[in-house]
Every structure is written in structure tokens, then in C-alpha cells.
Amino acid sequence: MTRMTYTNLINKTLELYLQKDYLKAYNFITENTMKVKGNNAQIYNFRYSIASKAGLNDLAMKIMREAILEKGYWYSYDYLLEDDDLKPLYEYNDFEELANICKEREIQSQRDCKPDLKVLMPNNLVDNEKYPLIIALHGNQENILITEDYWSPCVMNRRILALPQSSHIEFSDAYSWNDINKGTKEIKEHYKMILKGYNVDSENIIIGGFSAGARIALYAVLNDVIQVKGFIFVGPWLPEIEEWEHLLDGLKLKGIKGYIFCGDKDKDCFEGSNKFADMLNQRNIPNIFKVVEGLNHDYPTNFDKELEEAIKFITK
């Protein structure tokens, strides 16, 4: 049986929502919440929003109160006052109070938020031995925990895994790479710190990323912010790829290889991924563009095995 992941849960819930089967969407995300590692604040948000859309207003408010008052989560003040799904909840006396609590937490969180980094090390390290490094970037509205769930298997094969987290927070535990220059600067600082603090084989570094994380990763590589052997992108969101085309020749000069995964149902990223792969092929830059049949904006179901294949391609 295929393991359900956080991204699976969110995407399936959205699919049911877009089919206007709101009650089924609510039941699905509620029944499967405990099966995944991810952003519980986001799951609460889906639950109370969809419950409201399904006409379960009292239940929606109960979930919202639990999320904000008991769990301590917060959501964008503007979102709470502008989302059509939540309009039926405006008639409740404490809705505005909850929104104002979120506003205070939002201001404080945005003031305090800083770049973060988690580094996972292989077991049984040998002093003075150098280890390959993989840097993996989360997508928008994600975090270190979500990324770790997908990329951590690579540590089993004696690799160091670095998981940067953006300093831009959108709501509780949800970080995004909306400012490409700021995000690239943060990756540069992480990169320098990792090389200084860990026994990294500087000739064997791979950068990876999902969605907007892949965008930041590619921008950093193309602009020589970091030096890598190759890149592994999953559902890469590359809205400026045509503007960056003139920089791609540098990949060939530096011998950088690429591996791209993208679902053929990924409406936001498939076209850009396809263009990117074509540009690489036109320049004879070694790459594999793996189109995953039936997959939307998500990781392949067997990503642990797919990741090893991608690493082998880049390092051989």
C-alpha cells in the first residue's frame, strides 16, 4: 500500500473541493490527518474552511477556535477577512476577535522570523572523511519537516542532508520563497556555513527543491551563488525560465547535470518544466526529464527510490 504523505493529503482534498464535493473533502482530510507529517496549522485551515463551505458553520467555528485558541496557530489577517469560504462565519460574535488575535501573532511572527537550517548527518562518521552533500529546498507554504519527510532517505547512503527554511512566513509553520533575491542570499549564507562547519566533499554537492524551492535553487546555481555537481527538481515552478535561458550555457561549462520530475497533471509547473528540459537538450546539457503519469503538483509516490536513481545519474 502506498504511504500517504502530507502533499498527497492536501492535493486529494483540493481535488475533492474543486469537484464541489465539500462534505467528502472535509471527511477525507479529517480522517487522514494523523497519517501524515506536515503542517497541522494548514490542515486545520483546510478543515474549517471546507466545513464552512459545506454549510457546517458551527463545526467550522469550533475547529477555528481550537486552531487559534488551543493550538496557538495564526493565519493571515487579510486572508481571514477576504476568503469567500469564510464569509458565513462573519456573523459569529467571536470571528473578529479570532482574526485580531491572528493579526497580532502575524505581526510578531513576521518581525521575529529568521532563516533556519537543519542538517542531518549519516551514522558512524569517520573523522577527516569528506561526505557528499545534498541541499533540499521546500516549496511555498511548506517547511523543513515536510521536506525532510521526502529527502531524508538519502542520509542512509552516507550523505549529508541540509534543509534550509525561508525567513518569509505566511502563516503558522508555512514559509515561502516569494522574494527571489532575499531567498538566494539566504541560501548563499547557509551554503557558506555548511562548508565551514561540516566535512563536505565540495566536489560532490547536489541541490534539490520542490516547486518554488526549485526556482530559488536554479537561480542560485545560474548566478554562481553556490557550486554544485547537479540539481534534482520536483515539480519545479519556473515562471522566468525564458528570461534565464541565456544563463544556461554556464551549466554546460561547469559540467552540471540535471534531473527533473514533473507530473503530467501538474497544471502550474509542467509547461515550464518541459521548456526547461528542452533548453537543456538544445545545449546538450546532460539531464533526465521524468514525466510522471497521472501526477499533479506532488512528489512521485516512490520518491525514495527515484531520488537514488537521480543521484546516481548526477554522480556517475
The CATH number of residue 158's host domain is: 3.40.50.1820
What pLDDT score was predicted for residue 62?
98
CA distances from 99 to 79, 96, 171, 173, 298 (A): 9, 5, 13, 18, 31
Write down the pLDDT at residue 5: 87
Give pLDDT tens digits along the chain (316 positions): 467 889 999 999 999 999 999 999 999 999 999 999 899 999 999 999 999 999 999 999 999 999 999 999 999 999 999 999 999 999 999 999 999 999 999 999 999 999 999 999 998 888 889 999 999 999 999 999 999 999 999 998 899 999 999 999 999 999 999 999 999 999 999 999 999 999 999 999 999 999 999 999 999 999 999 999 999 999 999 999 999 999 999 999 999 999 999 999 999 999 999 999 999 999 999 999 999 999 999 999 899 999 999 999 999 8
Residue 1 lies in a domain: no
Last residue of one domain, picked from the residues 51, 86, 112: 112
Q: Give the global pTM.
A: 0.94
Helices 57-65, 40-53: crossing angle, 10 deg rounding: 160
Q: Tell me, yes or no, whether 182 and 270 share the same domain.
A: yes
- Quick one: pLDDT at residue 40? 96
pLDDT score recorded for residue 2:
67
Cα dist from 63 to 7, 12, 36, 45, 97, whole Å: 21, 20, 19, 9, 15
- Asked if 165 and 115 count as a contact pair (C-beta separation under 8 A), the reply is yes
| Same structural domain, 176 and 95 | no
The pLDDT, as a whole number, for residue 126 is 84
182 and 97 in a single domain? The answer is no
Q: Is 222 a domain residue?
A: yes
Strands 168-171 and 230-234: unpaired
Rounded Cα gap, residues 82 and 38, in angstroms? 25
The count of structural domains within the chain is: 2
Strand 200-210 vs strand 230-234: parallel, antiparallel, or unpaired? Answer: parallel
Which of 82, 112, 142 delimits the end of a domain? 112
Instruction: Please check whether residue 144 is in contact with residue 116, taking contact to mean a CB–CB distance below 8 angstroms.
Output: yes
Structural domain range at position 28? 6-112
State the DSSP H helix or E strand holding residue 147, giving kind and residue range, or none if neither: helix 144-151
